[in-house]
Amino acid sequence: MDLFTLWLFGAWSLYVVLVYPSVAALAAPFSRVLAEGIRFFILAAPAMFLIYGVRSTLRLGPLGPALKAGALVSLAWIAGSAAFGLTLQGLSLSTAKLDLVFWLTTFSVSCLSEEIAFRGTLLRGWLESGRRWAIPVSALCFVFIHVPGWVVRDMFSSPLEWVITPASIFILGLVIGWLYTRYRSIWPGVMLHAANNFAAAVLV
């Protein structure tokens, strides 16, 4: 797991700093599709094909209770995000970003890739090793993997955003981590992750 962690942060940071600016400069929607393909290769492919295997990682067995829990938590998360964003942050609703490429990349592939890496591999490995700190540390790792992208893309215009966004992602990581330990499946987390990306896309 230590080797995978080094690969995860090393390869991803190098990609974001050295390669992503060139990818982002390509014509849309090719740039977004290519970016998500690279994300899957770096984050998910090693776990699926070299560590746990496809079937063990995806665990497509009976998923009824897990999916119900994922749906309920996802709806609650969207409602909470909307209430916080619209009232306290002064954001507004917009559907401008909800094009087909969004649904095929940011809403789906992106969530699956990150959940395979952080809950299906890191968290799983630490839980199987009996690490009591597995959930909070995996949530912290989930925050830190976003930092290179925030810096390169210059996403935040105020210091407060550097507090609110990492804190919300850390909380998201804790909740998804709990869902994984409860159901031993990445799919409730994929649903909640997608719900979070949806909320981030429509609250501007």
58: containing domain: 2-202
CA-to-CA separations, 199 to 24, 107, 155, in angstroms, rounded: 22, 10, 17
Q: pLDDT per position in the chain (204 positions), as tens?
A: 789 999 999 999 999 999 999 999 999 889 999 999 999 999 999 988 888 888 899 888 778 999 999 999 999 999 999 999 999 888 899 988 888 888 888 888 999 999 999 999 999 999 999 999 999 999 999 999 999 999 999 999 889 999 999 999 999 999 999 999 999 999 999 999 999 999 999 998
Domain count, the chain: 1
